[in-house]
A and B are shown apart, each in its own frame.
Chain A
Amino acid sequence: MDGIHDLGGRQGFGRVRHSPTALAFHEPWEVRANALYALAVKLGIFNMDEYRHAIERMEPRHYLSASYYERSLTSLATLLVEKGLVTREDLERRAGGVFPLSLPSAAGRTNAAGRERFRAGDRVRVTTDHVPGHVRMPAYIRGKIGVVVSESPVYPFPDAHAHGVEAADEPTYDVRFSSTDLWPGAADAAFVHVGVFQSYLERAG
C-alpha cells in the first residue's frame, strides 16, 4: 500500500533530532511494549511482516502523531484482536478508555509469475505495481532503473507473508540506484542501495 509509513524522499521534514547518546527507550512502558510484541512473534501468534503491516495500517493521523512504541503497541493490539485472542471491547474495558487500533487489511498477493534470476551488473527496472496490501518496495523506486550489486539468501515474500497467502521464499537483490535518477534535479548526489525482492524486478534493456 502507498501508506503514510513510506517516507523515503518525502519533503517538508525538518532537522533530525540527533544526539550521539540518544536512547532506545525512555519510559518503562516502552520496553514492555517492545517485549510483548517480540513475545507474540516468538510464540508464533503473528510474524514480522504481519507486525509491520499492522503498523502501516494505522490511521495516518494516528501514525504521524504516535511515538515509535505507541505504533508497536497499536500493531500488537490490532493483531491480537484480529487473531481472536481478545476483543477490542475487552481491551478497552481493561485499559479504561478508548484503545485506537489499525484499520482493516486488504488482500495480499503471491510471488510474481516468471521471476528472473539476476547477476551482479545486470540492469533492472522496478515494476510499476500498485498493491493494496503489504509491500516492501518503497514508492521512491517504483518504475526506476538500477544495477544489481548482489543477491541475498531467500526470504519469505512479504506481500504474501503479511497476509497468510502461500508463496515461495525468494531472494532480494541489492540494487544500486542513483539519487539523481530517483529525484532528478532535487537530491544530493549519492548511490541509494535498496534490498529489492525478486518479484518487484524485471530486466531492463
Chain B
Amino acid sequence: MQPATQAATQAATASVEQRVDAIQAVLHERGMRPGEFIDEVVHLVEEQWVPENGARIVARAWTDPAFRQRLLANGRDAAAEMGFAMPRHHRHLVALENTATLHNVICCTLCSCTAFTILGLPPDWYKDLEYRARVVRESRTVLAEMGLHLPPDMQIRVWDTTADTRYIVLPLQPPETIGWPEDKLAAIVTRDALFGVARL
C-alpha cells in the first residue's frame, strides 16, 4: 500500500459515534427497537446494577451468620434471596472470604467478566490492559501501586474470571463496626473492597 493511500484510508475511518449510529439504524429498521432497549439499559446501569447491591450482601453476611453460610454455599441463590438477579449465563457466584491473613482479589485477564448485576459494570481500570496483564503475576506490587499495602505475611489469592462463574470479595468487617446496623455497615463497603483492590 502506498503511504498516500494508507493515509487516505486512515483518514476515512468513521468515528465511533457514526459507527454506533449505523448499527442502531440497522437494528431499528429490522424492528428490534434498539432505542427502547438503550433507555432500559441506561436505567439498569444507573439504578439497578450498582455496587451498593454487593455492599448490602456483605453487610447482611456480617450481621446474619446463617445468611453468611448460605452465601458461601451458593452465592447466586443468596443474592437472589435479597432480590439481586444475575444473568442466565452467570450460573455460579462465589463469595471469597478475606481474613486477617488472607486477601482475595478478582480480575479477568481475557476480557472483562464481572458479576456486573452485583458489583456494577466494571470500572475502567479493571478492563484496562495494565490490570489484566499484571495482577495475576505481580499481585502484591499492583495492589500496592493501587494504594493497598499488604503486610508480607498476608497470603494473596487472585481469581481470574475465565469461565462464567462470577466472584465477589467478602471483606473482613472492621472491628470498630461490630454491632452496627446493616444499613450503616453497607455504607462503608466500597466497590474497590468488593473487587479486592482495597481492604476496609
Contacts and interface: CB of A to CB of B under 8 A. Distances in A.
Contacts, number: 238
B134 interface: yes
Nearest to A200: B162
Interface residues of B, number: 75
B162 A95 contact: no
Nearest to B131: A16
B159 interface: yes
B183 interface: no
Nearest to A93: B22
A16 B163 contact: no
A196 to B, nearest CB: 7
A16 B111 contact: no
Given A91-B23, A138-B162, A193 B129 contact: no
A153 interface: yes
Interface in B146-164: 146-147, 155-164
Interface stretch (B35-43, B59-67, B171-179): B35-43
A20 B192 contact: yes
Most buried by B among A25, A70, A188: A188
> At the interface, is chain A mostly helix, strand, loop or mixed?
mixed
Given A188-B137, A194-B160, A95 B14 contact: yes
A29 B129 CA distance: 21
A8 B160 contact: yes
B188 interface: no
A96 B25 CA distance: 13
A40 B133 CA distance: 29
Interface in A69-83: 69-70, 73, 76-77, 80
Interface of B: 9, 12-27, 30, 32, 34, 37-38, 40-42, 45, 89, 91-92, 94, 109-112, 120-125, 127-142, 145-147, 155-165, 190-192, 197-198
28 contacts: A8-B133, A9-B137, A15-B130, A18-B125, A18-B131, A18-B147, A22-B123, A24-B124, A25-B45, A31-B41, A34-B121, A36-B38, A39-B32, A39-B37, A52-B111, A73-B23, A85-B30, A92-B14, A95-B19, A95-B21, A98-B9, A99-B22, A100-B13, A152-B163, A172-B162, A172-B163, A172-B165, A179-B136
